[in-house]
Amino acid sequence: MALAILARRRAAEAVLRRPQAAAAGAAVSAWRAYAAAGEESDVVVVGGGPGGYVAAIKAAQLGLKTTCIEKRGTLGGTCLNVGCIPSKALLHSSHMYHEAMSSFAHHGVKFSNLEVDLPAMMAQKDKAVAGLTKGIEGLFKKNKVTYVKGFGKLSSPSEVSVDLIDGGSTVVKGKNIIIATGSDVKSLPGITIDEKKVVSSTGALCLSEIPKKLVVIGAGYIGLEMGSVWNRLGSEVTVVEFAPDIVPSMDGEVRRQFQRMLEKQKFKFMLKTKVVGCDTSGDGVKLTLEPAAGGEQTILEADVVLVSAGRTPFTSGIGLETLGVETDKAGRILVDKRFMTNVKGVYAIGDAIPGPMLAHKAEEDGVACVEFIAGKEGHVDYDTVPGVVYTHPEVASVGKTEEQVKDLGIAYQVGKFPLLANSRAKAIDDAEGVVKVIAEKETDKILGVHIMAPNAGEIIHEAVLALQYGASSEDVARTCHAHPTVSEALKEACLQTFDKAIHI
């Protein structure tokens, strides 16, 4: 299937290459750094996050005159400014500190007077963010993308009115408009986020001091990652979750092992529990809790509370109602397979539409969307979008969980390989984890791969490629893997799936 899709895309590109190249040359030769007032773009992208800025660059590369509108004033969206990138910076810094505290002595590295310099840690994070946002601006200039700083609102299917950050307003005209406005923090009833004592993920990235007690509401990706940062730096972390499990989308067997690992790191979990009250009148925060099914209430005190109950599409107040653009009950914009809304010429991508709210998914949406606009064939396979929890060890997955395969009634087989039997993991004294492969019993086609390991987020892409091209577990098992590497655990798990692993 995937090879056929690739063949069709190459054939389409071969037919279109000459006219597209000519259009690209004309666009570049006639380009000015900023479009004159009233000048029409081929593509106007509303939103400069991962989906939006990637769409804008790709559109320009395809020879389309492109404008990108971003309300924040810095490109990269939530991911780069207050999400994926700064959180990974703090995760890495805090992991280095935790390793120095707990593991260096085992490797013969000893020292005294170890301490956290929180301002320096935050400065390193901010430097990384600033460098990357400026880098995107450089890519815009390189690709001749017009960048408008301001809040964009659709006023017609071909016009976006913009309240400029520096004051005043303008109207940007475009033959095609792509809505890439992303998502925002989901609030909870009765809880006011002040970004001081009650914070969102944004506030959790810039606390001025390490809280003695941190309560995280929500046991999803973001909550566990930010909880890990402050746990490593010394906070007592309690996670309150309404559901019976952490990370509900995760494979059940891997999830249980993951929770045990977090508990070893001194995380506390209160599952099947809901927050019914929040009192910030004192020095700290007092949360009123009760069982999800109802029952006796209890009080949980904290210095800081992180609200991490998910995200919601940012689609209100941008003119959708005026144009009659259809959305679902959750506010997500409904699109067809070409990312077009019910209004001709208006498209939507990323967190603003149904699907996983992930930066890399938004990027793929953006590329495919502008390929369709340019007359090419775009493609995104949502069954092969990987997910990663960037704790330590990381947990990465792609494809179906064992529970999903059971529900579909598919006969399957499972192969697992523990990191305790992996030579590289043992050599570096970092062997907590497992690789789990699920394959169809009759054909051996891989249906899902789930990895808990150091750098699982890097290893998972071999599995993504395997699923994309319909590989069997034997295909991966018979592929030579360098030794010693943690990646060999995936090879061994595949061996165990269709035959027998060598090292267990």
- 3-state SS of 24-49? HHHHHHHCCCCCCCCCEEEEEEECCC
Closest to 58 measured CA to CA, from 349, 382, 346: 349
DSSP characters over 370-385: HHHHTTS-----GGG-
The Cα–Cα gap between 456 and 388 comes to 8
Does the annotation place 360 within a ligand binding site? yes
Q: Is 351 annotated as a binding residue?
A: yes
355 among the known binding-site residues? no
Q: What is the set of active-site residues?
A: 483
Which tokens belong to 83?
């999400």
Angstrom distance (rounded) from CA 468 to CA 383 = 9
Q: Is 131 annotated as a binding residue?
A: no
298 annotated ligand binder: no
Residue 221 assigned as binding residue: yes
Question: Is residue 223 part of an annotated ligand binding site?
Answer: yes
User: Alpha-carbon distance 221 to 173, whole Å?
Assistant: 39
Residue 177 marked in a binding site: no
Q: Is 163 annotated as a binding residue?
A: no
Residue 75 in tokens? 């490109």
Residue 220 assigned ligand-binding role: yes
Helix H, strand E, coil C: the string for 433-472 is: CEEEEEEECCCCEEEEEEEEECCHHHHHHHHHHHHHCCCE
CB 325 within 8 A of CB 341: yes
Q: Would you say 181 is a known binding-site residue?
A: yes
334's tokens: 């409904």
Q: In the structure encoding, which two tokens stand for residue 181, read together? A: 């406005």
357 is an annotated ligand-binding site residue: yes
Confirm if 216 and 229 have CB atoms less than 8 A apart: no
Enumerate the known binding-site residues for FAD: 88, 152, 181-183, 351, 357-360
Enumerate the known binding-site residues for NAD(+): 218-225, 241, 310
Enumerate the known binding-site residues: 88, 152, 181-183, 218-225, 241, 310, 351, 357-360
